[in-house]
Amino acid sequence: MSIVPASLSTLGTNPEVSALPLAVVLNPRSGREPLAQRLSVLRRLFAEAGRQHAFFMAERGADLPRQAALALGWAKARQGAVIAAGGDGTINAVVQTVLPSGLPFGVLPQGTFNYFGRAHGIPANTEQAARRLLQAQPRPIQVGLLNDRAFLVNASLGLYPRLLEDREAYKRHYGRNRIVALFAALATVLSRRGQWLIEIEQGGQRRSARTSTLFVGNNRLQLDQVGIEEGALLDQDRLAAVMVDPVGPLALLGLGLRGALGRLGGSDHVGSFGFRQLTVRPARGSDKARLKVAIDGEVMHMQTPLVFRVSPQPLRLLWDGQGPAS
């Protein structure tokens, strides 16, 4: 995820931002800190800053769209901002509602990986993140679109959505932490095989390709960590595509190791390129097939053709400009 280039839009500091009312959509299941502690900290800091505020609790993932809509209505009526408190999936769900409105949007990262927050140097600690939020100004942030759905970190099809489904199953049984996520990934790689024959259209040219995964990134931190050089293109109003050849389980484990070492882009089995718009169809069968995709960690089905593109409307992120975290 990257800041939109200054040539596209610039927003200077605005003293009125320091008085923005805050509508907080909170996922109680996210975060390592107890819910009561998080709420106590936020209420205290917002009160000390003289900020009008309200909390909208999403007890289940299915509640997020409704709570986000209620928060948006509350913020619109008070010319305020909407804040998402949760992991990348929670943040994405709230963005779907907030992006078309143009209202300022803030985040309190409380997930497992927090790629969006970390890319902007926003701490996972609730108090630290809230203090930074209270000093932030709205800045335009690039958003990716898969058909009509926004994504901030990545969107994909193939093996990656299956990996996410298996990871969630493991988390339900063994807890939500990175070690569990790692073992879930290993189990998926060793037990699943698959390849997809797809047709790609880019810049008026079509070609067929076999792949185990098509991964489209919009988060430079994530791409840089695994060694994909096209992450730099996110600063040029583009997205980055990564395609993995169909290979066996051992070769996939090797690719996972290369990614952990930041050398994935150097593999002969991995191709990557930047683009502004990319259309993907099944190379065989109906053009209107439904494919399983993953968007910012959430798995769903979408009807083809799948069109990946940069959103013409940026997100007005409340950010203090302190830079990405490692």
Domain count, the chain: 2
Same domain, 296 and 235: yes
**How many whole angstroms separate alpha carbon 73 and alpha carbon 83?**
13
Same domain, 175 and 130: no
Same domain, 135 and 156: no
Enclosing domain of residue 74: 15-142+313-319
Taking each continuous run of H as one helix and of E as one strand, the counts in the chain are 9, 18
pLDDT band at 317 (very low <50, low <70, confident <90, very high): very high
The per-residue pLDDT for 164 is: 61
pLDDT band at 160 (very low <50, low <70, confident <90, very high): low
Same domain, 171 and 108: no
CA dihedral 138, 140, 146, 152 (to 10 degrees): -60
Residue 217 covered by a domain: yes
Mean per-residue pLDDT for 192-202? 74
At 81-97, the pLDDT tens digits run 999 999 999 999 999 99
At 130-149, the pLDDT tens digits run 999 999 999 999 999 999 99
Same domain, 194 and 261: yes
The per-residue pLDDT for 264 is: 80
At 163-185, the pLDDT tens digits run 665 444 434 444 444 443 443 44
Same domain, 21 and 114: yes
Residue 6 covered by a domain: no
- Write the DSSP symbol of residue 38: H
Residue 93 covered by a domain: yes
The per-residue pLDDT for 75 is: 98
Tell whether the model's pLDDT for residue 217 goes beyond 90.
Answer: yes
Per the prediction, the chain carries an average pLDDT of 83
Residue 27 covered by a domain: yes
Q: Are 112 and 80 in contact (CB under 8 A)?
A: no
Same domain, 155 and 227: yes
Same domain, 133 and 216: no
Same domain, 72 and 205: no
**Domain harbouring 269, CATH code:** 2.60.200.40
At 222-267, the pLDDT tens digits run 999 888 999 999 988 999 999 988 877 777 777 677 766 677 888 8
